[in-house]
Amino acid sequence: MCVIADYNNSPLRHNVAVLTKLIISLLLVLALARCNRGHDLATQKREMTAAEYDVLSAWLCGKVTRKNGINPIVIYDTTDSDEGHLLHDDHGQPIPWEKQAESLRKKTTVLQQSTLDAYRKANGQPAFLRRSLRPLTDYQLVSSTQLEPIFCYHCGFWPAFYKQFPGSQGVLTFSRVGFSADGTQAFFYYSNRCEGLCGTGDFVIMEKHNGQWAIQQEINMWVS
C-alpha cells in the first residue's frame, strides 16, 4: 500500500529560457545513451539499497499512478545526479558543490545537513536499478545500449523513442538517495526528459512518518 502526502509544494523556478532548456534536455538524453561507450562501467556501479527503493517507490506512488494512463513508466537503469548540468551557471562555468549546497539550504529550511552530506557521498558513484521499485503501474528499465540507437546522431530521437515506448512519459532518471543521521529524512534528485516542453529536474525531500515515506518538499531546478 502506498502512502504519500505533499506537505509543502515549492513554486517552479525557471532558471533559463524555455528554448535553452529544451536543447539541454535533448543533449542530456543523448549523453545518457553514450555514457557507457568506450569503457565498461559495470565494475564501477553499485547496487541500490532496499532503503533507497522504499523511498523512490513511495515517491512514484504519489507522482505516477494508473490514473495517468501511462504504461509503462520508462526509467533509466543507472542513477545520475545530473551534476554536470546542475553544477554549472548560465555561462557554462562550474559551480562548486559547496555553493550548490548553500543554494539548496536557502531554498528550504527543512533539509538537514546530515541528509545533504549523505546525498553527496552516495552519489560519488552511480548505481544500478533493478526491478525492485513498487509503483502503482508497470515500468520498464532501459539501458544506454537501448537508448543509443534512438538518440545517436542522425537517429530518430523522440519520434523513434515513442514508437518503441508508446504512451510513456519520456525517460525518468533518479539519483542515489541520501538519508539523515536518524534515518527519518531522505533526499534525492530526479529528472524526466521528453519531447516538447515537458521536461523537469527536481530535488525531493522525503520524511518518514509511522514507518511510511511521504513528500516533505520538492525543489524545482529546471523545466522545459
Which pLDDT belongs to residue 44?
A: 62
Structure-derived torsion over alpha carbons of residues 78, 83, 215, 210, reported in degrees to the nearest 10 = 70
Q: pLDDT (tens digit, 9 = 90+) per residue, 208-218?
A: 999 999 999 99
Q: Is residue 9 part of a domain?
A: no
Q: Is residue 196 part of a domain?
A: yes
Q: Is residue 4 part of a domain?
A: no
Q: Is residue 171 part of a domain?
A: yes
Chain mean pLDDT for the chain: 81
Three cell numbers, residue 22: 529544451
- Domain containing residue 78: 18-36+45-64+71-85+94-223
Q: pLDDT (tens digit, 9 = 90+) per residue, 27-45?
A: 555 555 454 444 444 446 7
Q: What is d(CA 68, CA 65) in angstroms, rounded to the nearest whole number?
A: 6
Amino acid letter for position 89: D
Residues of the chain with pLDDT under 70: 1-44, 64-71
Q: pLDDT (tens digit, 9 = 90+) per residue, 189-212?
A: 999 998 877 789 999 999 999 999
CA torsion through residues 78, 9, 213, 109, sign? positive
Which pLDDT belongs to residue 74?
A: 93
Q: Is residue 10 part of a domain?
A: no
Q: Is residue 8 part of a domain?
A: no
Q: Is residue 124 part of a domain?
A: yes
Q: Is residue 6 part of a domain?
A: no
Q: How many domains would you assign to the chain?
A: 1
Whole-number Cα distances in Å, 191 to 42, 83, 124, 223, 224 = 22, 12, 18, 10, 11
Three cell numbers, residue 7: 506537505
Which pLDDT belongs to residue 79?
A: 96
